[in-house]
C-alpha cells in the first residue's frame, strides 16, 4: 500500500523542488510579457481584448489575472500556477502508469518527468502549456478508468478534463484522435458514452475557438509552413534536446516489446497529435510549433517508465540519473533567460542615461517583440516620454499601442529622443539604429537631429539623438546694418 502512494508522491515532490529552483531568475520572454500585460487588466478588459487578439488564450489570462491578484504582479507570481501544474503532471503521469502497468513503471515514469529540462522550462513560464500537459495526461487517465467501468460519474469527470484541456490549449484537443482509437479498440460500444463526453468538452471551447479562427491571420502571421525535416526533428524540438528526446522516445518504444495492448494505444495517443498538427500545418495554416505539442510529453514519459521497468529497478534508476545528468547544462541555460531579447539591459541603459525631458520611439511598434510593454514592466513610469503614443494597449483593447498620425507635430517640442529598435523575429536580422523606424520618423531624425550615441544589447539597437541647433537665417541683416533707433537708417561704410 505504501509503495502505491510513494510511486507518485516521490516524483511529485521531486518535481516541485526542481521546477521551483531559481524560478524567479529567468527573464521573461515576449509571450510572458503579453501575459503580464493581460493579467493586470480587469476581467472585463481581458474579455474585450480577446475580441481582437489572443481570443484562444483568454481563459489562461483570466487565471493569470487571479494569480496576480493573489500572489502579486511579479513574474514569479505569474509562474506559480504553471509550476503547480507541472508538479501535478508528474503525479498524474505516475498514476496513469500505475494503473496500466504497476508500481515500478509508475515510479520511473514520474521520475523521468521530474528530471527533464522541458518540464522545468514550461513550469517556469507564465503561459498555458503546463496546464495542457496536466490535463492531457489527466484526461487519458480518466478515460482509462471510464473504459474499465463505465459509470456516468467517470464519464462526467472525463468530459470535465476535456473542457479544461481545451481551455488550456485548443491544439491539445488533437489528443482526442488517440482517445478515439483507444475507445474503438477496447470496446466500441463505449462510443455511446465517449461521444457525448467529447461533445460536451468541445462545446465549452467553441466560443474561444471562433475567436481564434477569426484572429488566425494576425496570430500566426510570423509562421511559415514546416518541412519534412521539421517533422523528423520534432522529438528534439519538443524536448529541447535531440539526445533527451531521442532517449525518451527509445525508452517509450521498449513499451511495445511485449506487444502489450495498452502500450500500443498509448503510443498512438502520443504520436497521432504530432502527425495531425503537421497535416494541419501543410493543408490549412502554418502552426507546427514544438511547444504546441508539449502535452504529449507526459504520455511519452509514462511509456518510457514502462520501457525502463523491463530492467531491474536499480538499473532503471541509474538510467533516470543519466538522463538527469545529460540535461543539467540545459537546466542551467533555461534558468538564465527565456528570451533572445534582453529587455532588462535595454531598460537599465535608458533609465541610467536619460535626461529630464527626453522622449523615446519604439520600433517596430506593431511587432510581437512587445518592446514598449517590456520597458513598462521593468521601468514603470521612469522612462522617457513616449512621444508618438496616441492610444495605449488598454484603450485599443489589444497588446499594441497606436501612434499619432502627425509625426512632425509630435516631435515639435522634442530636443532629445531615444530610439529602441528590436531585431527581426522572422529573419533574425540585427536592427540598425534607424532602419526599423517608420519613414516619417526616420526623415525627421535625419533632417533635424544629430546622433549622440549608439549602443547594443542582446536583441536591441539603441540610439540617442539631439535636435540640431537652428542655423541663422541668411536673410537676417547683420548687426552693422540693423537700425536701432529713431531717425533715418544709416548705412555702414568703411574708412579708407
Looking at the structure, tell me whether residues 452 and 407 fall in a common domain: yes
Looking at the structure, tell me whether residues 279 and 388 fall in a common domain: no
Statement: residue 487 has pLDDT above 80:
no
Say what the pLDDT of residue 478 is. 53
Statement: residue 219 has pLDDT above 90:
no
Say what the pLDDT of residue 367 is. 87
Say what the pLDDT of residue 427 is. 81
Looking at the structure, tell me whether residues 329 and 347 fall in a common domain: no
Indicate whether 496 belongs to any domain: no
Indicate whether 397 belongs to any domain: yes
Tens of pLDDT, residue by residue over 6-17, are: 999 999 999 999
Helix residue ranges per DSSP H, 169-190? 175-187
Tens of pLDDT, residue by residue over 63-88, are: 999 999 999 889 999 999 999 999 99
Residue the block writes with cell 498514476: 95
Looking at the structure, tell me whether residues 283 and 387 fall in a common domain: no
Angstrom distance (rounded) from CA 263 to CA 252: 9
Say what the pLDDT of residue 496 is. 40
Say what the pLDDT of residue 224 is. 82
Q: Is the peptide bond before 313 cis (omega within 30 degrees of 0)?
A: no
- Paired residues of 361 in beta bridges: 419
Angstrom distance (rounded) from CA 128 to CA 177: 21
Tens of pLDDT, residue by residue over 279-293, are: 999 998 889 999 999
Angstrom distance (rounded) from CA 367 to CA 353: 26
Mean pLDDT of 340-365: 94
Indicate whether 477 belongs to any domain: no
Looking at the structure, tell me whether residues 411 and 307 fall in a common domain: no
Instruction: Indicate the pLDDT class of residue 398, thresholds 50, 70 and 90.
Output: very high
Domain count, the chain: 2
Of the chain, the percentage scoring pLDDT greater than 90 comes to: 80
Tens of pLDDT, residue by residue over 296-339, are: 999 999 999 999 999 999 999 999 999 999 999 999 999 988 88
Tens of pLDDT, residue by residue over 426-448, are: 788 899 999 889 999 999 999 99
Looking at the structure, tell me whether residues 323 and 441 fall in a common domain: no
Q: What is the torsional sign of CA 161, 162, 167, 170? A: positive
Of 106-115, 216-225, 302-311, 384-393, the range with the lowest mean pLDDT is 216-225
Looking at the structure, tell me whether residues 321 and 372 fall in a common domain: no
Looking at the structure, tell me whether residues 261 and 189 fall in a common domain: yes
Indicate whether 328 belongs to any domain: yes
299-335 as b/e: b if 16+ CB within 10 A:
bbbbbbbbbbbebeeeebeebbeebbeebeebbeebb
Looking at the structure, tell me whether residues 295 and 353 fall in a common domain: no
- Of 316, 334, 352, the position where a domain reaches its end is 334
Contact 385, 362 (CB under 8 A): no
Phi first, then psi: give them for residue 320, nearest 5 degrees.
-60, -40
97: Cβ–Cβ under 8 A, 6 or more apart, which residues?
105, 106, 108, 109, 110, 302, 305, 306
Statement: residue 111 has pLDDT above 50:
yes
Contact 92, 298 (CB under 8 A): yes
Looking at the structure, tell me whether residues 253 and 231 fall in a common domain: yes
Instruction: Indicate the pLDDT class of residue 475, thresholds 50, 70 and 90.
Output: low
Indicate whether 462 belongs to any domain: yes
Of the chain, the percentage scoring pLDDT greater than 70 comes to: 94
Helix residue ranges per DSSP H, 215-292? 216-219, 228-232, 234-239, 242-254, 261-283
- Give the SS3 label for residue 27: strand
- Give the SS3 label for residue 433: coil
Mean pLDDT of 212-237: 84
What the block records as the C-alpha cell of 90 is 508528474
Say what the pLDDT of residue 73 is. 85
- The CATH number linked to 394 is 3.40.50
Angstrom distance (rounded) from CA 372 to CA 388: 12
Strands 416-422 and 460-467: antiparallel
- Of 304, 334, 364, the position where a domain reaches its end is 334
Indicate whether 486 belongs to any domain: no
Indicate whether 495 belongs to any domain: no
Contact 360, 385 (CB under 8 A): yes
Instruction: Indicate the pLDDT class of residue 490, thresholds 50, 70 and 90.
Output: very low
Contact 147, 158 (CB under 8 A): no
Tens of pLDDT, residue by residue over 184-205, are: 998 888 899 999 999 998 998 9
Statement: residue 483 has pLDDT above 80:
no
Looking at the structure, tell me whether residues 301 and 362 fall in a common domain: no
Say what the pLDDT of residue 477 is. 57
Cβ atoms within 10 Å, residue 189: 10
* Mean pLDDT value across the chain: 91
Angstrom distance (rounded) from CA 223 to CA 171: 16
Angle between helix 175-187 and helix 191-214 axes, rounded to 10 deg: 170
pTM greater than 0.75 (yes/no) = yes
Looking at the structure, tell me whether residues 312 and 421 fall in a common domain: no
Indicate whether 222 belongs to any domain: yes
Domain span holding position 128: 2-334
Tens of pLDDT, residue by residue over 268-281, are: 999 999 999 999 99
Amino acid at each position: 500500500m505504501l509503495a502505491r502512494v510513494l510511486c507518485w508522491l516521490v516524483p511529485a515532490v521531486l518535481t516541485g523542488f526542481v521546477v521551483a529552483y531559481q524560478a524567479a531568475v529567468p527573464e521573461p520572454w515576449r509571450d510572458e510579457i503579453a501575459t503580464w500585460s493581460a493579467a493586470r487588466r480587469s476581467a472585463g478588459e481581458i474579455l474585450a481584448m480577446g475580441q481582437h487578439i489572443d481570443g484562444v488564450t483568454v481563459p489562461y489570462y483570466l487565471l493569470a489575472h487571479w494569480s496576480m491578484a493573489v500572489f502579486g504582479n511579479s513574474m514569479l507570481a505569474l509562474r506559480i500556477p504553471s509550476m503547480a501544474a507541472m508538479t501535478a503532471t508528474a503525479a498524474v503521469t505516475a498514476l496513469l502508469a500505475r494503473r496500466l502497468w504497476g508500481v515500478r513503471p509508475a515510479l520511473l515514469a514520474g521520475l523521468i518527468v521530474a528530471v527533464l529540462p522541458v518540464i522545468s522550462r514550461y513550469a517556469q513560464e507564465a503561459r498555458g502549456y503546463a496546464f495542457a500537459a496536466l490535463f492531457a495526461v489527466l484526461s487519458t487517465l480518466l478515460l482509462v478508468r471510464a473504459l474499465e467501468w463505465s459509470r456516468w460519474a467517470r464519464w462526467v469527470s472525463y468530459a470535465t478534463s476535456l473542457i479544461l484541456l481545451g481551455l488550456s490549449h485548443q491544439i491539445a484537443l488533437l489528443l482526442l484522435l488517440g482517445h478515439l482509437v483507444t475507445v474503438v479498440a477496447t470496446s466500441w460500444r463505449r462510443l455511446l458514452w465517449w461521444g457525448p463526453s467529447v461533445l460536451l468538452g468541445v462545446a465549452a471551447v467553441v466560443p474561444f475557438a471562433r475567436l481564434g479562427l477569426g484572429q488566425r491571420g494576425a496570430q500566426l502571421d510570423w509562421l511559415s509552413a514546416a518541412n519534412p525535416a521539421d517533422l523528423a526533428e520534432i522529438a528534439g524540438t519538443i524536448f529541447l534536446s535531440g539526445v533527451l528526446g531521442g532517449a525518451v522516445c527509445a525508452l517509450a518504444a521498449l513499451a511495445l516489446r511485449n506487444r502489450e495492448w495498452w502500450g500500443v494505444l498509448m503510443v498512438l495517443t502520443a504520436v497521432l497529435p504530432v502527425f495531425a498538427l503537421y497535416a494541419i500545418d501543410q493543408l490549412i495554416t502554418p502552426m507546427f510549433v514544438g511547444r504546441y505539442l508539449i502535452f504529449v510529453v507526459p504520455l511519452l514519459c509514462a511509456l518510457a517508465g514502462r520501457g525502463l521497468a523491463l530492467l531491474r529497478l536499480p538499473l532503471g534508476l541509474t538510467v533516470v540519473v543519466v538522463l538527469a545528468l545529460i540535461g543539467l547544462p540545459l537546466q542551467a541555460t533555461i534558468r538564465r533567460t527565456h528570451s533572445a531579447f534582453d529587455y532588462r539591459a535595454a531598460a537599465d541603459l535608458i533609465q541610467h542615461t536619460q535626461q529630464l525631458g527626453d522622449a523615446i520611439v519604439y520600433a517596430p511598434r506593431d511587432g510581437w517583440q512587445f518592446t514598449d510593454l517590456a520597458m513598462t514592466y521593468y521601468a514603470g513610469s521612469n522612462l522617457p516620454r513616449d512621444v508618438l503614443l496616441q492610444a495605449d494597449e488598454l484603450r485599443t483593447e489589444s497588446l499594441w499601442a497606436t501612434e499619432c498620425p502627425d509625426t512632425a507635430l509630435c516631435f515639435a517640442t522634442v530636443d532629445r529622443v531615444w530610439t529602441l529598435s528590436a531585431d527581426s523575429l522572422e529573419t533574425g536580422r540585427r536592427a540598425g539604429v534607424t532602419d526599423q523606424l517608420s519613414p516619417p520618423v526616420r526623415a525627421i531624425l535625419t533632417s533635424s537631429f544629430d546622433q549622440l550615441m549608439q549602443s547594443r544589447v542582446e536583441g536591441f539597437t539603441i540610439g540617442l539623438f539631439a535636435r540640431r541647433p537652428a542655423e541663422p537665417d541668411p536673410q537676417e541683416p547683420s548687426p552693422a546694418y540693423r537700425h536701432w533707433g529713431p531717425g533715418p537708417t544709416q548705412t555702414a561704410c568703411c574708412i579708407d
